[in-house]
């Protein structure tokens, strides 16, 4: 494993250096020191501002999340040690290699070492995301956080001895902390999904246990994980907006009354929103929150002029005004969050717009379709119900992302750790089934 980790680190490091030194200056001649324009340049400027404050006022001026951006806070600490973008590159390479190793450990729960290494290669290579990983970014932390959380959760559900429980609890909580550092709202999404999984696990094991006392370590672990998820749900730049939405306060309507965002926000206003009597208030509120978040994404139509960005904003005429309409959008959310790009779009980069990104994402989509099919067959045939845990987490999370984010470019980034998890588990399952079939073929 040490050799694999070292190889993943060296590959990531060399790729990121090449991207910053060669690819970015070629694609973006105006880029400074290899920083991509947009979010990456913004995070760098926040880190430099904080570094200046620390130089003037001392370490007491340090904020973990300057202006709600945890990645910028960590970068400022790195710049304090080595004021070079390559301090970030080195850390991101370590995070990427660690995420790859944790994924292999997840796969080893059910598959051989050889199959696990091959199946983890899409994540290890991460062809188009490596461009983003070369920057100050949230995805590097999110990727490792997701892998740690999933690995710890799987181990907690499968082992009951107390020493292992403590180790696995620490792993799961470490993942929650990393996720909370950069995208605390993701912990809000994970909370109900994780609570559902723990509830099923508790009921399942209760059927096979004579004494409920034997399940107390699992119950204590579940309570600790859920408590941590519940505590680490704030601190990001979006907190004020999310709090206002959750408290059922109207979000201010943009200055363009005829815009898509304005129409969407009017529909999602608490006064106009049509709740369903048969749904719990919690679900009604969450559905309206997700639809309001969609509305805020539509404001990009007025603030952005980049044609690629504008083309990526979809479903501008789907503006639910109640919980029933929001639930009716759920199949579309699955299509966006889990299954895009769709088969009709796989040749887009060859027929319409040549692009490495679209080519690679189409290849990944093919793998995703195969992965879902292979995983379902493997879990059903082998009765490896624990393998359904990462699939449930990933598919649920990606569906919610698709529900709240009508911006395809953002969807690809937000879902990436989960997308890779499903692909890699599915590849391993499909390879195992194929080897089994080949072994039985005369």
| Residue 248 domain-assigned (yes or no) | yes
- Cα Rg, the chain, nearest whole Å: 22
| Residue 46 domain-assigned (yes or no) | no
Residue 407, beta-bridge partner list: 313
Residues 172 and 250 in one domain: no
Q: What is the pLDDT of residues 125-149, one digit of tens each?
A: 988 789 889 999 999 999 999 999 9
- SS (HEC) of 151-172: HHHHHHHHCCCHHHHHHHHHHH
What domain range is 246 assigned to? 242-328
| Residue 39 domain-assigned (yes or no) | no
Contacts for 92 with CB less than 8 Å, ≥ 6 apart: 12, 16, 133, 134, 137, 140
Model's pTM, two decimal places? 0.92
Final residue belonging to a domain, choices 328, 354, 380: 328
If we measure between CA atoms, which residue out of 318, 301, 344, 334 comes closest to residue 400?
A: 334
Residues 157 and 291 in one domain: no
Q: What is the pLDDT of residues 236-294, one digit of tens each?
A: 766 554 454 445 555 555 556 668 889 999 999 988 999 998 999 989 999 999 999 89
Cα four-point dihedral sign 134, 136, 139, 140: positive
| Residue 79 domain-assigned (yes or no) | no
Residues 147 and 262 in one domain: no
Number of domains in the chain: 2
CA-angle at 218, arms to 212 and 222, nearest 5°? 125
| Residue 42 domain-assigned (yes or no) | no
Residues 169 and 219 in one domain: yes
Residues 131 and 161 in one domain: yes
Residues 20 and 117 in one domain: yes
Final residue belonging to a domain, choices 277, 304, 328: 328
Residues 311 and 194 in one domain: no
Burial 384-404 (b: 16+ CB within 10 A, else e): eeebbbbbebbbbbbbbbbbb
Residues 219 and 291 in one domain: no
Residues 219 and 120 in one domain: yes
Q: What is the pLDDT of residues 13-51, one digit of tens each?
A: 999 999 999 989 988 888 888 888 888 999 999 999 999
Final residue belonging to a domain, choices 300, 328, 356: 328
Q: Do residues 369 and 339 make contact, with C-beta atoms less than 8 angstroms apart?
A: yes
The average pLDDT across 206-225 equals 81
Residues 93 and 215 in one domain: yes
Residues 249 and 200 in one domain: no
| Residue 206 domain-assigned (yes or no) | yes
| Residue 58 domain-assigned (yes or no) | no
Q: What is the pLDDT of residues 285-325, one digit of tens each?
A: 999 999 998 998 998 888 887 777 888 889 999 999 999 99
| Residue 57 domain-assigned (yes or no) | no
If we measure between CA atoms, which residue out of 340, 403, 387 comes closest to residue 368?
A: 340
93 three-class SS = helix
Residues 322 and 340 in one domain: no
- The distance of Cα 298 from the centroid of its chain, to the nearest Å, equals 21
């Amino acid at each position: 494993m040490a050799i694999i980790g070292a190889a993943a680190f060296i590959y990531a490091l060399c790729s990121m250096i090449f991207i910053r030194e060669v690819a970015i200056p070629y694609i973006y001649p105006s880029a400074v020191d290899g920083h991509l324009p947009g979010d990456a340049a913004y995070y760098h400027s926040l880190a430099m501002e904080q570094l200046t404050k620390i130089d003037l006022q001392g370490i007491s001026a340090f904020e973990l999340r300057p202006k709600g951006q945890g990645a910028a806070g960590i970068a400022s600490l790195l710049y304090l040690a080595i004021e070079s973008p390559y301090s970030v590159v080195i850390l991101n390479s370590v995070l990427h290699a660690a995420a790859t190793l944790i994924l292999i450990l997840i796969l080893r729960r059910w598959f051989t070492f050889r199959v696990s290494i091959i199946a983890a290669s899409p994540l290890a290579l991460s062809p188009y995301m490596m461009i983003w990983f070369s920057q100050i970014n949230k995805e590097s932390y999110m990727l490792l956080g997701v892998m740690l959380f999933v690995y710890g959760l799987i181990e907690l559900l499968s082992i009951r001895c107390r020493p292992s429980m403590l180790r696995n609890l620490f792993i799961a909580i470490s993942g929650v902390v990393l996720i909370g550092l950069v995208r605390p709202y993701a912990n809000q999404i994970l909370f109900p999904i994780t609570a559902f999984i723990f509830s099923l696990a508790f009921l399942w094991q209760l059927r096979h246990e004579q004494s409920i006392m034997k399940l107390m370590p699992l119950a204590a672990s579940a309570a600790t994980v859920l408590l941590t998820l519940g505590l680490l749900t704030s601190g990001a730049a979006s907190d004020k907006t999310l709090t206002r939405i959750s408290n059922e306060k109207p979000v201010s309507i943009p200055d363009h009354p005829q815009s898509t965002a304005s129409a969407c926000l009017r529909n999602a206003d608490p006064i106009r929103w049509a709740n369903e009597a048969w749904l719990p208030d919690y679900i009604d509120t969450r559905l309206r929150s997700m639809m309001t978040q969609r509305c805020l994404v539509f404001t990009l139509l007025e603030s952005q002029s980049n044609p690629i960005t504008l083309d990526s904003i979809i479903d501008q005429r789907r503006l639910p005004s109640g919980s029933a309409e929001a639930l009716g959008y759920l199949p579309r959310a699955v299509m966006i969050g889990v299954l895009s790009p769709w088969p009709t779009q796989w040749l887009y980069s060859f027929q319409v717009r040549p692009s490495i990104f679209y080519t690679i994402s189409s290849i990944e989509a093919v793998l995703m379709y195969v992965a879902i099919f292979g995983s379902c067959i493997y879990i059903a045939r082998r009765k490896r119900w624990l393998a359904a845990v990462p699939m449930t987490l990933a598919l649920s999370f990606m569906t919610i992302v698709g529900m709240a984010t009508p911006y395809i470019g953002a969807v690809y980034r937000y879902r990436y750790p989960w997308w890779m998890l499903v692909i890699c588990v599915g590849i391993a399952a499909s390879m195992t089934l194929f080897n089994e079939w080949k072994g039985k073929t005369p």
